Amino acid sequence: MTQTLALTGRDLFWPPADELTEAAERIRARLGDWPPTHAPWRICLTAPDEPNGGDLIVIADAQQHGEQVARWQVRGAGVIEAAQNRAALHLGGETYRLEGHLSEDWIAALAAFLDCGFDPHDALVLALAWRDGDETRANDAFPSDLSHFPRLGGLPGAPEPAFPSCPPRLGLYPVLPSGEWVERVAGFGVKTIQLRHKSAEPADELKREIALSVAAGRRHDAQVFINDHWQAALDAGAYGVHLGQEDVHTADLAALAAGGIRLGLSTHGFYEILRALHFRPSYIAVGAVFATTTKAIPTAPQGLKRLARYVRLLDGVVPLVAIGGIDLQVLPDVLATGVGGAAVVRAVTEASDPGAAVSALQHAFTQ
């Protein structure tokens, strides 16, 4: 049983609700050991007189509360609108819309997942994946049946046809800054590579880097993905494109799918995983697993425990790539989660001998 339980006596609900606290503690005891949360959220079943940034106020209809909802959010509180198998979280200027089952224990489950350190939008996803009595069926009752997870509302339709598949286990996946680097690493025998060319060079220079990378992939029979620059990648006939969450609303996904280009999507938690799955990508990247200095990440490091949960949930559904702060030292622990791909950056580009570094990293996948 987890040693981090401390729900009884905490300001967990408003107004105080012993039965809900007991149910939350019972659920929490079956979710495994997680570091104590640093954000002690309070779930409010009625609005407190002085809501603050630690409150999640549960209501049935936001329209009925009108100006109150706006005032609560100005004070930093979140608002959860829940009714008729739908839930929407309004927090920090964002709205997260979910459609799915609301069990009798969903509020207690929400409290338990918040205590595990999940951000409110991910905790709400997990609360809707919860089924009454799950805590009685296994010592580890953490949701792992994708069919129980909610759907996301308000998303545009997924492109038809779906994106082409890629190998189920992508293996070592270096993320490289230039076409020269792609050529070099492909020559070492690496079969999955990403060009992440971030400099503000003229368009013709960008096209040149992409063309060099695509040509290197074809020459060495490697799968080369282009980060962000989807139109240039499409024009160059690239194998694949890798996009961030924000890009799915601006990129022409239908054109990419029709062009036979593979799509990889970045995710940083359960909510974003569900959003990525909606678009039926070729693979999903999950992270950042560890702290990284190569890219600004909007969320805290996910860690190996969460990575293992993502693998368990999505095994056989879509290929996964772990990314963020991965080097040779931690790679065996990353692969022990069962993930089939691991992206690396500095472990190759800052190595004194990139060829030897690639060989050692490749070897870790065979152990």
- Statement to judge: residues 328 and 181 lie in one domain: yes
The CATH number given to whatever domain includes residue 288 is 3.20.20.70
The pLDDT score that the predictor gives to residue 201 is 64
Q: Is 331 domain-assigned?
A: yes
Confidence bin at 296 (pLDDT 50/70/90): low
Q: Is 165 domain-assigned?
A: no
Last residue of a domain, one of 152, 186, 215: 152
- Statement to judge: residues 228 and 130 lie in one domain: no
pLDDT of residue 330 exceeding 70, the answer is yes
- Statement to judge: residues 347 and 223 lie in one domain: yes
Q: Which residue has the tokens 């890629």?
A: 166
Q: Contact, 5 vs 27, CB < 8 A?
A: no
- Statement to judge: residues 223 and 347 lie in one domain: yes
Q: Is 321 domain-assigned?
A: yes
> Residue 210 phi/psi, 5° resolution?
-65, -45
Full residue range of the structural domain in which residue 85 is found: 13-152
Confidence bin at 297 (pLDDT 50/70/90): low
- Statement to judge: residues 192 and 309 lie in one domain: yes
Last residue of a domain, one of 117, 152, 187: 152
Q: Is 347 domain-assigned?
A: yes
- Statement to judge: residues 320 and 352 lie in one domain: yes
- Statement to judge: residues 144 and 211 lie in one domain: no
The pLDDT score that the predictor gives to residue 200 is 60
Name residue 137's amino acid. R
The pLDDT score that the predictor gives to residue 77 is 95
The pLDDT score that the predictor gives to residue 4 is 46
Average pLDDT for 19-25: 95
Number of domains in the chain: 2
pLDDT of residue 3 exceeding 50, the answer is no
Q: What pTM, to 2 d.p., does this model score? A: 0.95
Q: Is 160 domain-assigned?
A: no
Q: Is 354 domain-assigned?
A: yes
Lowest mean pLDDT among 82-96, 207-221, 256-270, 297-311: 297-311
Confidence bin at 8 (pLDDT 50/70/90): confident
The pLDDT score that the predictor gives to residue 143 is 97
pLDDT of residue 5 exceeding 60, the answer is no
- Statement to judge: residues 180 and 143 lie in one domain: no
- Summarize pLDDT for 30-53 with one digit per residue, the tens: 999 998 787 889 999 999 999 999
Last residue of a domain, one of 152, 180, 208: 152
Q: Which residue has the tokens 């999955």?
A: 192
For residue 90, which of 77, 102, 103, 104 has the smallest C-alpha distance?
77
Averaged confidence pLDDT in the chain: 93
Q: Is 164 domain-assigned?
A: no
Q: Contact, 306 vs 276, CB < 8 A?
A: no
- Statement to judge: residues 245 and 286 lie in one domain: yes
- Statement to judge: residues 128 and 202 lie in one domain: no
- Statement to judge: residues 123 and 252 lie in one domain: no
Q: Which residue has the tokens 């194998």?
A: 239
The pLDDT score that the predictor gives to residue 262 is 98
The pLDDT score that the predictor gives to residue 6 is 66
- Statement to judge: residues 260 and 333 lie in one domain: yes
Lowest mean pLDDT among 38-52, 158-172, 198-212: 198-212
Buried b (16+ CB within 10 A) or exposed e, 224-257: bbbbbbbebbbebebbbbbbbeebbeebebeebb
- Summarize pLDDT for 247-290 with one digit per residue, the tens: 998 999 999 999 999 999 999 999 999 999 999 999 999 999 99
Q: Is 7 domain-assigned?
A: no
First-last CA distance in the chain:
32
Lowest mean pLDDT among 17-21, 44-48, 61-65, 190-194: 61-65
For residue 364, what are the contacts with CB-CB under 8 A and spacing of at least 6? 328, 331, 332, 335
Confidence bin at 84 (pLDDT 50/70/90): confident
